[in-house]
């Protein structure tokens, strides 16, 4: 599934194994899976959102051939504007839904740096890794906004 499909009912996938295809992007504090804006817009807790999911990688995910290709693409992306599109399988964690009146609901628990992500995928396996050269949205956020 895509992140747009996942975010159509994010919390129903909590604790389940899923396979998702998305762009992997990283920077000093914001590594994860990202999507272009969805049509219609993805919603989270009643607000429009561009889907993004924090990632953790199991040791098993790093030992496969697609895993080696992924880590090699990360290394290459540090010096050139490549996009890294991955299909991965793993266990999804979400902040969960809350019952009761909206005004009484506690804030959603986030993942990643400063809780910036509404969900986290613990990647168990890389299914496919695609590297696109000269991307306008490179994998490395540092290349997206070069310092002068």
The pLDDT tens digits of the residues spanning 84-104 come to 999 999 999 998 544 444 554
Residue 61: other Cβ atoms inside 10 A: 21
Task: Please report the pLDDT score of residue 110 as a whole number.
Answer: 84
Task: Please report the pLDDT score of residue 95 as a whole number.
Answer: 80
Percentage of the chain with pLDDT > 70?
Answer: 87
Write the CB contacts of 30 (distance below 8 Å, at least 6 apart in sequence): 112, 113, 116, 141
- pTM for this prediction: 0.85
**Model confidence pLDDT, tens digit, residues 64-91:** 889 999 999 999 898 888 999 999 999 9
Q: Distance from first CA to last CA of the chain, Å, rounded? A: 39
Torsion on CA atoms 141, 113, 43, 125, rounded to nearest 10:
80
Task: Please report the pLDDT score of residue 107 as a whole number.
Answer: 58
Q: Domains of the chain, with CATH numbers?
A: 3-139 (2.40.50)
Task: Please report the pLDDT score of residue 148 as a whole number.
Answer: 40
CB 111 within 8 A of CB 147: no
d(C-alpha 136, C-alpha 108), whole Å? 32
Write the CB contacts of 50 (distance below 8 Å, at least 6 apart in sequence): 34, 35, 36, 37, 38, 42
d(C-alpha 67, C-alpha 62), whole Å? 5
| Alpha helices per DSSP H over the chain | 3-7, 65-77, 141-144
Q: What is the mean pLDDT of residues 108-122?
A: 86
Q: Is 99 exposed, middle or buried (0-12, 13-18, 19+ CB in 10 A)?
A: exposed
Question: Which backbone phi and psi does 13 adopt, to 5 degrees?
Answer: -95, 0
């Amino acid at each position: 599934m895509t992140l747009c499909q996942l975010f159509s009912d994010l919390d129903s996938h909590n604790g389940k194994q899923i396979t998702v295809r998305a762009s992997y992007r990283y920077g000093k504090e914001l590594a994860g899976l990202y999507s272009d804006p969805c049509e219609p817009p993805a919603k989270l807790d009643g607000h429009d959102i561009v889907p993004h999911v924090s990632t953790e990688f199991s040791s098993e995910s790093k030992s496969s051939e697609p895993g080696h290709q992924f880590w090699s693409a990360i290394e290459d992306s540090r010096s050139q504007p490549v996009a890294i599109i991955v299909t991965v399988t793993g266990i999804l964690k979400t902040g969960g839904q809350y019952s009761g009146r909206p005004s009484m609901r506690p804030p959603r628990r986030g993942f990643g740096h400063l809780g910036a992500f509404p969900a986290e995928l613990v990647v168990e396996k890389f299914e496919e890794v695609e590297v696109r050269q000269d991307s306008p949205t490179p994998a490395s956020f540092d290349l997206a906004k070069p310092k002068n």
